[in-house]
């Protein structure tokens, strides 16, 4: 899809379709008033007759409107003008795309950018229009033998801006929107691939591919023997039952000042999670291919930042394994020694994400990070607590947590902070090792983060539990690409603050 910005009145757009907002109570937007005036009251007459009320989701597609140069005018109901927020704006754009896909128009001029969204400027509206459009257009057809082609696919969107003074900023918003949308699609593709294709080795190859695509990215992959030398007993305990060798993938993007401490992202990369000896129920086990969505989001955010050539230092660390049951798999009751030297009693082999993350978090120390953020589909308890709307956020540094909460509000890819009180550490006590890898059913998301916190005492750290937001089940089953939007916005905010 091609995106661009342009200033100019809607009636002068020689294009397949012009998209115009209309508000509830039959209130016309500025662009609708212009079309109405040149067409001798055609729009207001339609509104008066009740052809479109302006309620959220209303649509009316008009052809050959008098005194306009476009083939079609699409009127979109936006609800009450003062009530438009992120979610409403997103729904309006999705409604637009769903309608246009079957309209026959291939080039579109959108005046939805004139909608007033609370506390958001024109750049935000352009960027998030692109994200909404690409979300609706995304299809995972890589593995289908027959790919359904759209007869007349959408191929160009032009966003309206107010005068030439906004063109340069608008083009930058387009660039950011396209980079983030592309990276979200990359994360979705990785998440949607089945476990027999997306193995730890495949994930490593995708990280190496980033290295080849971007001159400012350097990728390194540690093999099992390398991890054994580093003493990563917790990570390697997970992969013992699999024929797929573990990989520890490091992606470095160093475009900031040499003295600048990097932001480190750590993404859980379990390419298939059977639960190991603590075998999961068979129902919906196919969805355990999504257990590497934390890793996919790290690859996605590194790709977006490299594409935008942001002046900052970043490191992505991906511990990648497959968790399978076999004669050599870890057993409940086994005790392993982590890279930090702390010992762990494995009471449940299905609590494997924290075992690979703890060694990766210790490994992160070598980069002398400014902050470390880990991203993981870690606990079913987070799904129960927060559902599919918000990722869980915990950490040891409130300013970092606040920055992530703020980035979530800006991006619409939200998170919600849970407590990380010392009281919860009691649940991880073991009679035989320094700690157990589970703390029982109560506060499962919190005790999982408490476990990780024992390996993050040397730096500022935040943990995002994305178990509820990383993929959808049911008819729309598939990876969401979250939280690439949140993490990229966090980096953009950091760049803005430091410049």
Enumerate residues 6+ apart whose C-beta is below 8 A from 314.
252, 253, 254, 262, 263, 264, 265, 301, 302, 305, 491
What torsion do the CA atoms of 135, 197, 285, 473 make, to the nearest 10 degrees?
10
Gap between the Cα atoms of 121 and 123, Å rounded: 6
The CB density around residue 321, as the number of other CB atoms within 10 Å, is 32
What residues contact 451, with CB distance under 8 A and at least 6 apart?
354, 358, 428, 435, 437, 439
- Contact in structure between 434 and 342 (CB atoms under 8 Å): yes
The length of the chain, given as a count of residues: 499
Active-site residue, selected from the candidate residues 240, 247, 354, 494: 354
Name the pairing type of β-strands 343-345 and 371-376: unpaired
Sorted by sequence, the CB contacts under 8 Å of residue 389 that are 6+ apart come out as 414, 468, 469
- Among 176, 164, 162, CA closest to 129: 176
Q: Cα separation of 400 and 396, whole Å?
A: 9
For the question of residue 6 being annotated catalytic, the response is: no
3-state secondary structure of 44: helix
Task: For helices 122-137 and 167-192, give the axis angle rounded to 10 degrees.
Answer: 30
CB-based contact 51:43 (threshold 8 Å): no
Active site residue 354: yes
CA distances, 48 to each of 28, 32, 44, 81, 392 (Å): 11, 14, 6, 18, 47
Phi–psi pair at 247, nearest 5 degrees: -135, 140
Please pick, among 26, 27, 156, 280, the residue that the annotation labels catalytic: 280
- The H or E element spanning position 478 is strand 478-479
Q: Are 47 and 143 in contact (CB under 8 A)?
A: no
Residue 184 backbone dihedrals phi, psi, to 5 degrees: -65, -40
Cα-Cα-Cα-Cα dihedral of 355, 357, 362, 365, to 10°?
180
Instruction: Go through 172-186 and write b for each residue having 16 or more CB atoms within 10 A of its CB, e for each that does not.
Output: ebbebbbbbbbbbbb
Q: Tell me how far apart the alpha carbons of residues 138 and 427 are, in angstroms, rounded to a whole number.
A: 43
76 φ, ψ (degrees, to nearest 5): -120, 125
Residues noted as catalytic: 280, 354
């Amino acid at each position: 899809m091609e995106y661009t910005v342009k200033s100019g009145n809607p009636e002068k757009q020689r294009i397949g379709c012009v998209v115009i907002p209309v508000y509830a109570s039959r209130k016309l937007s500025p662009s609708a008033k212009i079309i109405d005036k040149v067409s001798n009251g055609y729009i207001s007459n339609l509104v008066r007759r009740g052809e479109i009320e302006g309620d959220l989701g209303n649509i009316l597609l008009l052809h050959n409107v008098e005194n306009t140069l476009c083939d079609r005018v699409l009127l979109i109901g936006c609800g009450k003008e003062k009530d438009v927020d992120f979610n409403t704006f997103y729904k309006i754009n999705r409604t637009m795309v769903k309608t246009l896909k079957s309209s026959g128009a291939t080039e579109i001029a959108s005046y939805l950018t004139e909608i007033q969204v609370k506390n958001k400027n024109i750049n935000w509206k352009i960027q998030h229009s692109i994200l909404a459009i690409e979300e609706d257009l995304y299809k995972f057809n890589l593995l289908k033998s027959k790919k359904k082609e759209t007869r007349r696919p959408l191929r160009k969107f032009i966003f309206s801006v107010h005068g030439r003074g906004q063109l340069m900023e608008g083009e930058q918003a387009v660039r950011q929107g396209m980079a983030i949308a592309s990276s979200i699609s990359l994360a979705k593709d990785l998440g949607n691939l089945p476990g027999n294709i997306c193995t730890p080795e495949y994930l490593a190859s995708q990280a190496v591919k980033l290295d080849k695509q971007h001159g400012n990215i350097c990728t390194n992959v540690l093999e099992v023997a390398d991890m054994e030398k580093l003493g990563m007993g917790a990570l390697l305990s997970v992969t013992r039952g699999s024929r797929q060798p573990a990989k520890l993938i490091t992606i470095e993007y160093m475009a900031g000042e040499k003295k600048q401490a990097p932001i480190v992202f750590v993404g859980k990369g379990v390419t298939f999670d059977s639960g190991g000896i603590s075998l999961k129920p068979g129902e919906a086990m196919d969805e355990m291919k999504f257990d590497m969505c934390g890793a996919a989001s790290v690859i996605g955010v590194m790709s977006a930042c490299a594409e935008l050539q942001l002046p900052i230092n970043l490191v992505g660390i991906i511990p990648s394994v497959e968790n399978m049951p076999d004669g050599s798999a870890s057993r409940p009751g086994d005790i392993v020694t982590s890279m930090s030297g702390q010992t762990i009693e494995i009471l449940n082999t299905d609590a494997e994400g924290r075992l690979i993350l703890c060694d990766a978090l210790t490994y992160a120390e070598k980069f002398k990070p400014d902050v470390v953020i880990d991203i993981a589909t870690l606990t079913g308890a987070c799904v129960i607590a927060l559902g599919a709307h918000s990722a869980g956020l915990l950490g040891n540094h409130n300013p970092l947590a606040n920055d992530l909460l703020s980035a979530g509000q800006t991006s619409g890819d939200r998170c919600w902070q849970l407590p990380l009180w010392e009281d919860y550490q009691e649940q991880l006590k073991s009679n035989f090792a320094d700690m157990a890898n589970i703390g029982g059913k109560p506060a499962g998301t919190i005790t999982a983060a408490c476990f990780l916190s024992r390996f993050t005492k040397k730096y500022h750290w935040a943990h995002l539990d994305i178990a509820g937001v990383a993929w959808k089940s049911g008819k729309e089953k598939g990876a969401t690409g979250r939280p690439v939007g949140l993490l990229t916005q966090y980096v953009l905010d950091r760049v803005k603050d430091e410049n």
